[in-house]
A and B are shown apart, each in its own frame.
Chain A
Amino acid sequence: MVGRAAVRLSRLVFAWPGQERAVIRISSFSLAPGEQVFLSGPSGSGKSTLLALIGGILRPRSGSVTVNGVCLHSLGGWARDAFRGDEIGFIFQQFNLIPYLSILENVLIPCHFSRKRRLRAKEAAGSPLRAAHRLLERLDLAPDLWNRQVTRLSVGQQQRVAAARALMGGPSLLIADEPTSSLDADRREGFLRLLLRECREAGAGLLFVSHDRSLAEAFPVRLEFTEINEAATG
């Protein structure tokens, strides 16, 4: 493949501090820009750990993580955090929202930590606030909810707010760590459809981790984590 990969891992090894055994051992892996990838694997195999490595929150023992052509290894701690803020949006399994902030404020969080995302939101919609409105509307969250306390939302609504936040300010990569596992089957479908559509619209890559193989069909690329992670098989 020619051109810059969205994510490229090479000879990556990671072990949690104080542990001998490596959780992650990946010799080579890459994700094309804008690609939508479904990653599944058994519990405890290190999927979430890998996502934190890609986000630059954990540092590998050896090997390198390259995101958007930037080698995280070469960045200092501060720059790595800033880079994550600029380029990556995260969605977790649950409790994605800060309880004391309103829905709008939750969506706007990335714009406070990343200048790039603030500027991109401005460019796209005129202002970060308007960008947030637009995203919330597209994710089927009615305006009368926007200033509500997040704890009053259903789990499905909460996950959509989390998706809006991850998409806010156009990051180049979305990382979703089992975002649907606390939703019932109907909502799972709906949420996934929205997420895929928005990522496509925004041109952002999506790395989607889930146990639920029934969701895999919606993705053009499906990977079995144990196949790329040698530590899990060995």
Chain B
Amino acid sequence: MRRFFYLLRLSGQSAWNRRGTLALVVFSVALSTALLLGIERVRGQARESFRQSVSGTDLVVGARGSPLQLMLYAIFHLGGATSEISWDSARRIAERSEVAWSIPLALGDSHQGYPVVATTPAFFQRYSYRRGESLRFAQGEPFRDLYDLVVGAEAAKNLGYRPGSVLTLAHGSGAGKLAEHTDKPFAVTGVLRPTGTPVDRSLYISLEAMEAIHLDWQGGAPVPGFQVRADQARKFNLEPKRVTALLLGLKNRGRVFALQRQVNDYPGEALMGVMPGVAMDQLWTMIGAGERVLLLVSLLVTVTGLMGLAAAILAGLGERRRELAILRSAGAGPLDIVLLLACEGLLLMSCGILAGTAALALLIAGLGPVLADRYGIALYLSPPVAREWAILGGILLAGFLAGLIPAFRAYRLSLADGLTVST
């Protein structure tokens, strides 16, 4: 034991003596560590914030079909909703006694590529994401008048909208030239704060407004010879006829399975109830392949860093043969030599890992608030979780193994050299 500590001290002093070269090695290990850990952090956080694009919603109701597609509509507002449910069914389900709140959503229109979602003011009160955070306004307030509109943070920023801005909506969504509802312009009344969810990329109007702009439309085009002016539209019955999805919150979460069954067996219309948590997980496994590529790249960077470590120690061996021969002459065995070099590798690894972890922590502490504020990416400074400990341990182990390469070489050298190293 005493001998081990002596070797540890020797390797430390020896490394310190060559600190100029080895600092680079430590730096590259630190970089690999920060990269690997950082990517894992972002990956975990991305997954988490994806999963938590919606929270607090117990059941999403839509037309029977693919649950994943319903998620795309209801949470991500993607795709032209082709299947809808009748307002009547939606209202009936929403009025059930176990339902605490409901948010109807109707898709279809867009603005400059951003989806326009028709909903009720309940959306701004009830919709929650992450760990139960609710929507907040950066500027203005929810829509009140028929032609009012609320913009998500990212859309507002990219398009330069503020309360008071006036805009028109396009019929349908997707690329190409879309017909515009030019006769019924909307005024922005509010801009939401960044959430890091699809809400940031959406525009919100009332269900009645959705009805109003489509009064004189049939299918995908205006009805020829029939036009309702914006102010005239107010006199029509604007109760919606169909919606795309209905988000439900229950008074008692335990009832969700029962309600889901009842929705699935709903008489008269083919409906489907989906629990968002499960569906979001499925969706993530489909789109999460990219994150694995990222992880692979950072793993390769780490391997490169470790190779650099082994190479640097190896390169130093030549001029240290003398030193090793001296130790051998004083009674050190070949195993002591191996230990000395392994200690050096481990020491460098530890320094690199510590430096990398500290650098990442500083980075997160410094950039975290900016990222959260600007992009809604929530990176928190927190002690490593089990997975991250495993990564740190893995790097250390890999570094130790890489350090054994020069150690083994030194072993061979010290056996072959005898005592006569002519340097």
Which residues of A are at the interface with B, using a C-beta cutoff of 8 A?
A: 17, 48-49, 51-52, 55, 57-58, 77-78, 81-82, 84-86, 88, 90, 92, 95-101, 109-110, 112-114, 165, 177
User: B291-332 CB contact bits vs A (8 Å, 1 = yes)?
Assistant: 000000000000000000000000000000011011111111
Question: Among the interface residues A48, A82, A101, A114, which one has the most CB atoms of the partner chain B within 10 A?
Answer: A101
Alpha-carbon gap, A143 to B326, bound state (A): 24
B interface size (C-beta, 8 A): 27
- B-side contacts of A177, CB under 8 Å: 419-420
B423–A95 CB distance below 8 A: yes
Q: How many angstroms from the CA of A165 to the CA of B326 in the assembled complex?
A: 11
CB of B330 within 8 A of CB of A48, answer no
Per the bound structure, the CA–CA distance linking A78 and B330 in Å amounts to: 13
Residue from A17, A92, A99, A112 having most chain B Cβ neighbours under 10 A: A112
Name the residue on A nearest B335 (C-beta). A78
Give the top 4 A-B pairs by smallest Cβ distance, nearest first: A85-B331, A100-B17, A113-B331, A81-B333
Q: Does B128 contact A (CB under 8 A)?
A: no
User: CA of A55 to CA of B308 in the docked complex: distance in angstroms?
Assistant: 36
**A interface footprint on B123-142 (CB within 8 Å = 1, 0 otherwise):** 00000000000000000000
Query: How many angstroms from the CA of A49 to the CA of B418 in the assembled complex?
Result: 8
The CA of A114 and the CA of B326, in the complex, are separated in Å by: 14
B330 cross-chain contacts in A, Cβ below 8 A = 85, 90, 109-110, 112-114, 165
Q: Which A residues are CB-close (under 8 A) to B331?
A: 81-82, 84-86, 110, 113-114
A55 touching B419 in the complex, CB below 8 Å, given contacts A112-B3, A112-B6: yes
Determine which of B13, B325, B326, B420 lies in contact with A109 in the assembled complex, contact meaning CB atoms within 8 Å: B326
Residues of A close to B16: CB separation below 8 A = 100
Q: B322 contacts which of A82, A86, A88, A95 (Cβ < 8 Å)?
A: A95
What is the distance, in angstroms, from A71's C-beta to the closest C-beta of chain B? 18
In the complex, the answer to whether B419 meets A85 with C-beta atoms within 8 Å is: no
Residues of B1-45 contacting chain A, CB below 8 A: 2-3, 6, 10, 13-14, 16-17
Is A113 touching B419 in the complex (CB atoms < 8 A)?
A: no
**Chain B window 391-423, contacts with chain A (Cβ cutoff 8 Å), 1 for yes, 0 for no:** 000000000000000000000000010111001
* Complex partner residue of A90 from B329, B336, B416, CB under 8 angstroms: B329
Q: Which of B14, B326, B329, B416 contacts A55 (CB 8 A)?
A: B329
B422: nearest residue on chain A (CB-CB)?
A: A93
Using known A-B contacts A48-B420, A112-B3, determine if residue A98 contacts B323 with beta carbons closer than 8 Å: yes
Asked whether B334 is an interface residue with its Cβ less than 8 Å from the other chain, the reply is yes
B322 and A52 within 8 A (CB): no
**Residue of B with least CB distance to A97:** B326
Alpha-carbon distance between A177 and B327 when the two chains are bound, in angstroms: 16
Q: Within the complex, what minimum Cβ distance (angstroms) separates B331 from chain A? A: 2
CB distance from B30 to the nearest CB of A (A): 23
Chain B residues, Cβ within 8 Å of A97: 326
In the complex, how many angstroms separate the beta carbon of B333 from the nearest chain A beta carbon? 4
Which residues of the partner chain A approach B418 to less than 8 Å between Cβ atoms? 48-49, 52, 57-58
Q: Give the residue of B13, B322, B419 whose beta carbon is less than 8 angstroms from that of A57.
A: B419
Q: Which residues of B contact A85 (CB under 8 A)?
A: 330-332
A81 with B332: CB separation less than 8 A: yes
A51 touching B419 in the complex, CB below 8 Å, given contacts A95-B322, A100-B13:
yes
With A57-B418, A77-B334, A113-B331 given, is the CB distance from A96 to B326 under 8 Å? Answer: yes
Are B419 and A48 in contact (CB-based, < 8 A)? yes
Instruction: Give the residues in chain A near B2, CB-CB below 8 Å.
Output: 112
Most B CB atoms within 10 A — which of A58, A78, A97, A100? A100
In the complex, the answer to whether B334 meets A84 with C-beta atoms within 8 Å is no
One of B326, B416, B423 near A98 (C-beta < 8 A): B326
Report chain B residues within 8 Å CB of A90. Answer: 329-330, 419
- Report A81 CB to chain B, min CB distance, Å: 4
Q: Output the least CB separation between A58 and chain B (Å).
A: 5
- When chains A and B are docked, how far (Å) is the Cα of A57 from the Cα of B330? 11
* Identity of the chain A residue whose Cβ is nearest the Cβ of B423 in the assembled complex: A95
CB–CB B419/A17 < 8 A:
no
Contacts of A95 in B (CB 8 A): 322, 423
Chain A residues near B327: list those with CB within 8 A.
98, 109, 113
Known contacts A17-B416, A52-B420, A81-B334; can you find 7 more A-B pairs with CB under 8 A? A48-B418, A55-B419, A82-B331, A92-B325, A92-B419, A98-B327, A99-B323
Contact B336 A113, beta carbon cutoff 8 Å:
yes
Q: How far is the CA of A77 from the CA of B10 in the complex (A)?
A: 23
Contacts of A92 in B (CB 8 A): 325, 329, 419
Nearest A residue (CB) for B12: A100
